[in-house]
A and B are shown apart, each in its own frame.
Chain A
Amino acid sequence: MTTPDGQDELEAQYAQWRHYVQRRRELQRSDAEELEDHLRGSVDELVAVGLRADEAFLVAVKRMGSLDDLSREFAREHSERLWKQLVLTGETDSAVADTRSRRDLLAMVICAAGAAASIKVPELFGMGFGEDAGGFYATNFSLFSLPWLAAFLTWRRRARPALIGVLVALFALGVVAANVYQLAADSQSVVLTALHLPIALWFVVGLAYVADDLRSSRRRMDFIRFTGEWFVYFVLIALGGGVLIAFMFGTFEAIGISPDVFISHWLLPCGFVASVVVAGWLVEAKQGVVENIAPVLTRLFTPLFTAVLLAFLVAFGWTGAGIDVEREALILFNLLLVVVLGLLLYSISARDPLARPGLFDKLQFALVVSALAIDVLVLLEITGRITEYGTTPNKAAALGENIILLANLAGSAWLLLGFIRKHMPFAALERWQTGYLPVYAAWAWVVVLVFPPLFSYL
């Protein structure tokens, strides 16, 4: 009964059993090993009293009781395992994952340190903070952080040399856009470049993120998820950094040392660019470990935003007063569209594409349509203004963005309606959103590269 054949079969059964056990979150690898030893002991004993190997295995497994019961008992002792922990280094269950996460950590530290060091390099050439280099740092800030994040992702994805070449070229283009035009520090174009270059470069990071499959809609959706989670982590790190700075300031003041210069010239800029990389690494490391938070926030705020927008529309119709469209108002409504788009995107990102349309989809439809209605009112007002007074870079940029967002939301509303009425699959909406990403990137590059000469460096 211990022929090699029977033994092989038995080993295969053990392997299968181990596989089942390891799928339980409550049971770790060491537990599985301990239980397997138990099972083997039990099988050996049954074989010794005369059972065939496969019979012995069946009996031994049966005797151990159902895995459900077993894991419930384990969960009572190890309740912490039900909270998914983000293990940063070591102590993961398998050795392979262990070395991988350690190497990731090392690469991240190198990239973050590189980012922190690079932002201090211009100082060597007389571009210190606080002097009249404000314009330089405003436009170049993203160039000290995002290339490092892209480098980390490229390293992690083992990107092809051709793609690396493209990334380098695009970042070089970013350097050109930020520095070639001689813009006055107080010009509108400086502000526009400072706002749009990070967006353009973020999509370059996206290129590094989807490295292996540029056209895949799924990978692009992953990048959208990555962006949302990155943002959440970045904000959390920034909050922690704020607390650190507050304590540093308070404690050093108390002993008569003013850490002003250190904080504003070193800690803030270096911490900022480094945390861009750290946040990216965190998202990569925790993928699948922790529940994504952006979709949860979406669920919470979609009904609230819908209510506010509908209330606004009602109030607008009731009072009959016009919208006061100053520049700030246009930016405000742009941001509103961005938020609505974000709410839409992150609920798409978390949705099961095969699920049937439900109440939440209808709610979302209401949100998108009310945002559209408001925006059309604003647009009518603003185009009137522009034809009357002529345009500036700011107005043109804001208007262009408004139109891009409007087109996206109009398309989304159409597809969402089709989905709710069961004409179209949900995937159509997903493809529409992921297919739209290059439009944002292209617009950001246009603002950065074409606007300054177009508006004679105003």
Chain B
Amino acid sequence: MRVAKDLVAASATPMVLGILAEGDSYGYAILRRINELSGGELDWTEGLLYPLLHRLERLGYVESSWQSVTGERRRKYYRITNKGLAELAEHRRQWDTVVDALKEIWLGPGDFGEAREPNIKHFRPLTAIPLGGQA
């Protein structure tokens, strides 16, 4: 099962802000974290992530800094700002509303019997990014 594109796009901002709220990070690590969290079912591309990060930076939700890693390689780290945290809280409030409403419908009267396990932990190794059948 793959999550629909629209839904991925809609959840992109809170997802990235949420990950950055856990700690500073950089593009590749963020993408891997998303994969890890969703069990590889959220179809994120670089074309989605980097422009989004740049937009969040322009809006002042995150700030970036270049830090050097091994040798001449430099890496762009992102850090969430206070404004970003406020934005994240707002997103969270909205998502909670949506999720609660959906739960209300799906687990409505009569369905209480078969309470599903809400958090099935998909345990995947770190290399969970699918290789698209080329491995």
Q: Which of B48-56, B90-98, B99-107 sits within the interface?
A: B48-56
A9 within 8 A of B: no
For residue A45, CB closer than 8 A to chain B, the reply is yes
Q: How far is the CA of A76 from the CA of B75 in the complex (A)?
A: 23
> Which partner residue on chain A sits nearest B56 by CB separation?
A77
Verify B28–A73 contact, CB threshold 8 A: no
Q: Give Cα A37 to B51, complex, Å.
A: 15
Max chain B C-beta neighbours (<10 A), residue from A42, A59, A77 = A77
Are A34 and B73 in touch, CB under 8 angstroms? no
Would you list which residues of chain A between 57 and 93 have a CB under 8 Å from chain B?
59, 62-65, 69-70, 72-74, 76-78
Q: Are B48 and A34 in contact (CB under 8 A)?
A: no
**89-135 of chain B: CB within 8 A of chain A:** 126-127, 129, 131-132, 134-135
- Quote the shortest CB–CB distance from B64 to chain A (angstroms): 9
Given A65-B45, A74-B50, A77-B55, A33–B28 Cβ distance below 8 Å?
A: no
Cβ-closest chain A residue relative to B127: A49
Q: Across the interface, do B45 and A74 meet the contact criterion of CB distance under 8 Å? A: no
Taking the nearest CB of chain A, how far is it from the CB of B2, in angstroms? Answer: 16
- In the bound complex, how far is the Cα of B34 from the Cα of A334, in angstroms? 72
Chain B contacts for A77, CB-based, 8 A: 51-52, 54-55, 58
Contact between B134 and A62 (Cβ–Cβ < 8 Å)?
yes
Which among A30, A63, A69, A78 is the interface contact of B129 at CB below 8 angstroms? A63
A contacts, CB < 8 Å to B: 30-31, 33-35, 37-38, 40-42, 45, 49, 59, 62-65, 69-70, 72-74, 76-78
Most buried by A among B50, B75, B132: B50
Among B55, B58, B131, find the residue whose CB has the most chain A CB atoms closer than 10 A: B131
- Taking a contact as CB atoms under 8 Å apart, the answer to whether B132 and A76 are in contact is no
Q: Known contacts being A70-B47, A77-B51, is A59 close to B134, with CB within 8 Å?
A: yes
Min CB–CB distance A49 → chain B (angstroms) = 5
| B74→A73 contact, CB < 8 A | no
A148 CB to nearest chain B CB (Å): 41
| Pick from A33, A40, A42, A49: contact of B76, CB under 8 Å | A33
Chain A to chain B: the 10 pairs with minimum beta-carbon distance, closest first: A73-B47, A41-B28, A77-B51, A70-B47, A38-B28, A34-B76, A73-B51, A37-B75, A77-B55, A38-B27
Residues of B within 8 A of A45 (CB): 126-127
Q: How far is the CA of A74 from the CA of B45 in the complex (A)?
A: 12
The answer to whether A73 touches B76, judged by C-beta atoms less than 8 angstroms apart, is no
A contact face: mostly helix, strand, loop, or mixed: helix
- Known contacts A74-B47, A77-B55; is-contact A30 B28 (Cβ 8 Å): no
Whether a CB of chain A sits under 8 angstroms from the CB of B46 is: yes
Residues of B within 8 A of A34 (CB): 27, 50, 76
Q: Contact partner of A37 among B26, B48, B131, CB < 8 A?
A: B26
**Is the CB–CB distance between B132 and A73 below 8 Å?**
no
A65–B55 Cα gap in the complex (Å)? 21
**With A33-B76, A37-B28 in contact, is A73–B127 under 8 Å at CB?**
no
> Which residues of B are found within 8 Å of A59, using beta-carbon distances?
131, 134-135
CA distance A65 to B48 in the complex (A): 11
Q: Which of A38, A49, A76 makes the CB contact (< 8 A) with B46?
A: A38
18 A–B contacts from the bound complex (CB under 8 Å): A30-B76, A34-B50, A37-B27, A40-B73, A41-B29, A42-B28, A45-B127, A59-B131, A63-B131, A64-B45, A64-B46, A65-B46, A69-B45, A69-B47, A70-B46, A73-B50, A73-B51, A78-B51
Q: Mark B54-82, 1 if CB is under 8 A from A, else 0.
A: 11001000000000000001111000000
Closest to A75 in B: B51
Bound form: Cα–Cα A64–B73 in Å: 19
Q: Which residues of A contact B135 (CB under 8 A)?
A: 59
Residues on B with C-beta less than 8 A from A30 are 76
Give complex CA distance A35, B27 in Å.
Answer: 8
Contacts of B26 in A (CB 8 A): 37
Contact A35 B75 (CB under 8 A): no
Q: How many angstroms from the CA of A40 to the CA of B29 in the assembled complex?
A: 12
Cβ-defined partner of B50 (8 Å) among A35, A41, A69, A72: A35
